[in-house]
Structure 1
């Protein structure tokens, strides 16, 4: 309804261009990279670096993958998740945000755009359902992470190292105290954050340094628990240090600089710790390899010890497969966006790239893991 109403006879782009103080750069998918500056670095960090912290996945993804019948189905399920999550679901958010420029041109606080659009377009019944669903999602996320954090504190720290001989009732009570402590910490941290974007930037600086070790553990047998603990500690210390010493100002956006410093320092730290701590492969390392049969030079020593050859292609094939999958997702995302804005030529070209990269992805995934599609 909002799409049809906003488009009218002139089209969405023309309607947006007529908005007071509208900047044509709002509709650009890429910044001007002819002159490299701090804003260009920020864009590059968003695209190429910040995703590292999410590279290992999490328990949600594991549950979904383990629920599939085979590795073949697991890959297809995860590919479908990425298409739905990044290509399809992103555009309603982006589109509503852009339309708020047309319907709410005098809005002072950009973060109130979505609530204002809900109030403007949804009828009373649907508006109540929307607000209830948002509150339910917020409470679900909050209690999940509080219980999750408390379980880490109790099962990984308090129980094994502080009070290992207590009964279950004691640990339940300690867990409740842990939730209370985490709640107070979260309230303290949130009181220091002025915006959602500020929270995202802070977390990506703090956690960005973890990405390299999380990726490397799949390709180098020497990466171990000490490597990850060192990366976690260093990322927290270095990330907070650069947040305090290199704050962004109206004249200089230093977010990209902070992320790159954190990543570089943390990588040096965990690599040094890895070289000092893991010199001979343990039983779990060999078991891990024999289960997954990972290729690449980083597992050469384990291959020689186990006598088991890897499944599928080389490390090079993995990198190419990853690159092709990124081209597929980004071209699909941007192609859909060009369709929405009526740029038929650009949309056709991007969607053609998406189809071609999808065919290449099928070929390379088959080489990497010998999957059959």
Structure 2
């Protein structure tokens, strides 16, 4: 177990203090609830694009992508190859749609199409998903720090969570977007520096790296068989397309950024920038994992035998980088997690105000009270995320737990949105039956994974890969809704 040198510790602490101070500085401006949720619609496209990129990247990506490439190959990179098509659909249809409606909420449209139940269902699914996501990010961020330095997992979760809560609660969406932009740049710069150091340090240089990687098929994108029961190229591609359509189409974190832009064209540019930037950056992280595999194959004495794949990259940062640079790279690891956390906190607070408090509890709130509700909601969601992160401590696989929870909490909401957006004659009653079918499909596919996490075994074997849960849930809602509306027509929408 290593000890972080004093200079690296100072660099890391200085980074955290600077980010905190920068984020909090936005609270001193005259603010309204609209400023908190949309930044007054005056944010530049490049900053919003960097924020969208930072929302894609998290501590899960920072640790899991190099770890995945180190352990196996580039099969997971196929997820990124689905982004251009999803982004084109978003820019062509979703961005103009959300810019045209008079609401900060991604779920306002569902109420217009199917009634209040659809808005409550979708927004509740979103809030539950964000809590699970934030908890997983906080825990996965703390895990390598505990392994490498002996830092308390609970302390890292609480410290990181509270810093993000403070600036997200006080600074609003402007603080989130601008800190995301800074942290995104630090993250990219840190990754490039790391890759350069691996090239410099590996005996034999780049040629040796590629020789070892090629001999072990580390650049493989996976099997091209039409098999959706295992992690093939086509399964990951389909899964990625549905996940990214869900992100761009119905995720408040993304939809809210469309509204912060100055114009529809700026919103489209920011969407293209944020989504397409993730492709080369994710490739960079996969390449780091492959390079680390080659590096430690040539120098196996430099890595502990029992190290987890997700801790290999942090281990290299701590053990191989010069003093001072290590602190900056650890800061970039935290930047990946903090940027996603701040986005989730701000968008969740917006959902709580727009979809629940102002809609059902206190419709006539003043603008000043709106702002208080947003800040209180940010605080509550942040504190709950810390508790969820602590609850993750001790699970057999945090990533498996996150994937299982995300599949369940997604609730097939993408299918409901597409049903309303594409099949214009579907009515509320038909949509209800479609959602029930989708929830049953999700439950049937998720239960074996949930039982496995609890150490039990299901009485049936699930034929599809667990990643296909969101695909089947979405398709079940859309297909059942389409069939019902085709058979019974519009009928009486009651």
What TM-score bracket applies, with the shorter chain setting the length? 0.5 to 0.7
Deviation at 1:126, TM superposition (A): 2.3
Correspondence for 1:11: 208
Deviation at 1:109, TM superposition (A): 0.5
> Secondary structure in 2 aligned to 1:124?
coil
1:137-185 per-position Cα deviation (integer Å, ceiling 9, x unaligned): 5334323422321232123212231233455665555545534543454
Contact 2:415-2:473 at 8 Å conserved across structures: no
Q: How does 1:24-103 map to 2 (within 5 A)?
A: 24=217, 26-33=218-225, 37-40=229-232, 42-43=235-236, 45-56=238-249, 58-59=254-255, 61-62=257-258, 66-67=261-262, 71=265, 78-79=271-272, 81-86=274-279, 88-103=280-295
Correspondence for 2:363: 164
* Among 87, 111, 136, the residue aligned to 2:310: 111
Question: Aligned in 2, Cα 1:229/1:184: closer, same or farther, shift over 3 Å?
Answer: farther
Deviation at 1:3, TM superposition (A): 2.8
1:195-223 per-position Cα deviation (integer Å, ceiling 9, x unaligned): 34642464255437233444455544447
1:53-98 per-position Cα deviation (integer Å, ceiling 9, x unaligned): 124272365258x446x85x87666545544321x21222011111
Q: How does 1:266-285 map to 2 (within 5 A)?
A: 266-268=477-479, 270-271=481-482
> Secondary structure in 2 aligned to 1:158?
helix
Correspondence for 1:358: none
| Bigger share in helix | 2
My pick for the range that moved more, 156-165 or 132-141, is: 132-141
Question: Aligned in 2, Cα 1:17/1:84: closer, same or farther, shift over 3 Å?
Answer: closer
**Structure 1 length as normaliser, TM-score?**
0.55
Contact 2:407-2:469 at 8 Å conserved across structures: no
> Secondary structure in 2 aligned to 1:89?
helix
Q: How does 1:201-220 map to 2 (within 5 A)?
A: 202-204=405-407, 206-207=409-410, 209-215=412-418, 218-220=421-423
Contact 2:213-2:219 at 8 Å conserved across structures: no
Mapped partners of 2:268, 2:374: distance in 1: 37
> Secondary structure in 2 aligned to 1:108?
coil
Deviation at 1:256, TM superposition (A): 3.9
Deviation at 1:119, TM superposition (A): 1.9
Q: 2:457 matched to 1:261?
A: no
Question: Aligned in 2, Cα 1:221/1:163: closer, same or farther, shift over 3 Å?
Answer: same
Deviation at 1:268, TM superposition (A): 4.3
Contact 1:118-1:127 at 8 Å conserved across structures: yes
Question: Aligned in 2, Cα 1:53/1:63: closer, same or farther, shift over 3 Å?
Answer: same
Which runs of 5 or more structure 1 residues have no equivalent in the other structure?
281-373
Question: Aligned in 2, Cα 1:112/1:229: closer, same or farther, shift over 3 Å?
Answer: farther
Correspondence for 2:10: none
Contact 2:352-2:377 at 8 Å conserved across structures: yes
Q: 2:402 matched to 1:199?
A: yes
**Structure 2 length as normaliser, TM-score?**
0.43
Correspondence for 1:353: none
Contact 1:119-1:127 at 8 Å conserved across structures: yes
Contact 1:206-1:239 at 8 Å conserved across structures: no
Which runs of 5 or more structure 2 residues have no equivalent in the other structure?
1-195
Contact 1:42-1:255 at 8 Å conserved across structures: no
Mapped partners of 2:483, 2:388: distance in 1: 31
Deviation at 1:255, TM superposition (A): 0.4
Higher relative contact order (CA 8 A, sep 6+): 2
Mapped partners of 1:279, 1:235: distance in 2: 22
> Secondary structure in 2 aligned to 1:31?
coil
